[in-house]
């Protein structure tokens, strides 16, 4: 079946490049800055993920750069006076200025052209929360749904995506200015692990803390169980930042406590992992309205 629209995602979706390529999905990339060098987060096309995780494990502190207007202009320019429109499912506007740049690029093109067939939808999500939505969009696109139909589905379902995250490295959060040095020191000493989720606006919110790695993984599984709907019909996504063993353990916990269709484990992309640090684990599912 001929697709009725093209699909664009950014590298904060954490879906592997091969998967995007196989499903005819375009990609715009964030930039990672580490030791005075820039690296393109292409979701594994060329980026050396294992090397990057070793840098995080060694307590390196990368930063990330939002996608600029020029990059978006280049991507959108193919849809000037085009017959087939483009849908861009974007990283949460509350977590990056990239989406604002996308709208700026679109406005500039619209000023100079009669028609620019580009629609931008805020996923209000990050990592595989964004990826979860994109996987469903691919299914609907391939089933012949129109862009308008898919846009309406997205707008009705972005606040049904639940993201439960635990971070293993408090020192990374301290180095990134997210918690105080004192909180990091005390928390690390008594093995405190924060529990984080994404609120209805797309912001990351610290909603609790537990003591110990195992308890933190059990907590995000229990929160997923509490908020999920129609679990038997879902494939839950688990993202891990370098620590595959913890990802596998989380999968096992899910399978033991939640009746699901499947559990898929994928690496947390380098842009997101730059902010969580090594060892972060996140679970993503559709559930109750936030």
Mean pLDDT of 32-47: 95
Residues facing residue 164 across a β-bridge: 197, 283
Question: DSSP letters along 69-127, please?
Answer: HHHHHHHHGGGBT-SS-EEEEE--TTT-SHHHHHHHHHHHHHHHSS-B-EEEEE----T
Residues facing residue 206 across a β-bridge: 196
Percent of the chain whose predicted confidence (pLDDT) is above 90: 83
**Do both 104 and 231 map to the same domain?**
no
In tens, the pLDDT along 176-224 reads 555 556 555 555 555 778 898 999 999 988 888 899 999 999 999 999 9
**Do both 117 and 218 map to the same domain?**
no
Where a domain ends, among 114, 133, 158?
Answer: 158
pTM of the model: 0.94
Q: What is the CATH number of the domain that holds 29?
A: 3.40.50.10170
**Do both 146 and 17 map to the same domain?**
yes
**Do both 55 and 146 map to the same domain?**
yes
Helix 244-257 vs helix 213-227: angle between axes, to the nearest 10 degrees?
Answer: 40
Q: What CA–CA distance (Å, rounded) separates 63 from 28?
A: 18
Residue 1 located in a structural domain: no
pLDDT of residue 180: 59
Residue 257: in which H helix or E strand, if any? helix 244-257
Structure tokens at 2: 């001929």
For the chain, give the mean pLDDT.
92
CA atoms in the 13 A half-sphere facing the CB of 21: 7
Where a domain ends, among 125, 158, 191?
Answer: 158
**CA 189 to each of CA 68, 169, 175, 212: distance values in angstroms, whole numbers, following the listed order:** 40, 12, 17, 11
In tens, the pLDDT along 271-285 reads 999 999 999 999 999
CA atoms in the 13 A half-sphere facing the CB of 226: 9
The CA-CA-CA angle for residues 101, 64, 18, to 5°, reads 85
Structure tokens at 73: 């202009």
pLDDT of residue 179: 52
Q: What is the CATH number of the domain that holds 180?
A: 3.30.1180.10
- pLDDT greater than 90 at residue 173: no
Phi-psi region of 164 (alpha: psi -120 to 50; beta: other; left: phi over 0): beta
Number of domains the chain contains: 2
Range of the domain at 200: 160-286
In tens, the pLDDT along 73-111 reads 999 999 998 889 999 999 999 999 999 999 999 999 999
In tens, the pLDDT along 122-166 reads 999 999 999 999 999 999 999 999 999 999 999 999 999 999 999
Is 187 exposed, middle or buried (CB count within 10 Å of its CB: 0-12, 13-18, 19+)?
buried
Q: What's the N-to-C CA distance of the chain in angstroms?
A: 35
pLDDT of residue 59: 85
Residue 260 located in a structural domain: yes
pLDDT of residue 190: 52
**Do both 147 and 280 map to the same domain?**
no
Structure tokens at 223: 């929160």
């Amino acid at each position: 079946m001929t697709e009725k629209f093209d699909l664009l995602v950014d590298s904060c979706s954490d879906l592997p490049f091969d998967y995007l390529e196989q499903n005819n999905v375009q990609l715009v990339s964030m930039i990672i800055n580490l030791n005075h060098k820039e690296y393109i987060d292409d979701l594994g096309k060329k980026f050396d993920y294992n090397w990057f995780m070793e840098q995080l494990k060694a307590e390196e502190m990368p930063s990330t750069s939002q996608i600029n207007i020029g990059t978006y202009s280049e991507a959108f320019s193919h849809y000037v006076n085009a017959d087939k429109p483009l849908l861009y499912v974007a990283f949460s506007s509350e977590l990056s200025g990239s989406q604002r740049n996308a709208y700026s690029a679109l406005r500039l093109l619209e000023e100079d052209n009669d028609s620019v067939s580009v629609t931008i939808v805020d996923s209000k999500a990050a990592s595989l929360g964004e990826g979860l939505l994109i996987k469903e969009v691919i299914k609907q696109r391939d089933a012949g749904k129109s862009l308008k139909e898919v846009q309406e589905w997205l707008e009705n379902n972005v606040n049904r995506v639940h993201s439960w995250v635990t971070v293993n490295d408090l020192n990374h959060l301290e180095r990134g200015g997210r918690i105080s040095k004192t909180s990091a020191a005390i928390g690390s000493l008594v093995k405190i692990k924060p529990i984080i989720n994404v609120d209805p606006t797309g912001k990351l919110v610290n909603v609790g803390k537990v003591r110990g790695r195992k308890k933190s993984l059990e907590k995000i599984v229990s929160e997923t169980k509490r908020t999920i709907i129609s679990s038997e019909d879902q494939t839950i996504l688990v993202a891990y930042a370098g620590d595959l063993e913890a990802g596998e353990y989380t999968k096992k916990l899910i399978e033991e406590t939640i009746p699901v269709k499947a559990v898929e484990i994928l690496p947390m992309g380098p842009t997101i992992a730059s902010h969580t640090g090594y060892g972060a684990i996140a679970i993503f599912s559709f559930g109750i309205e936030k």
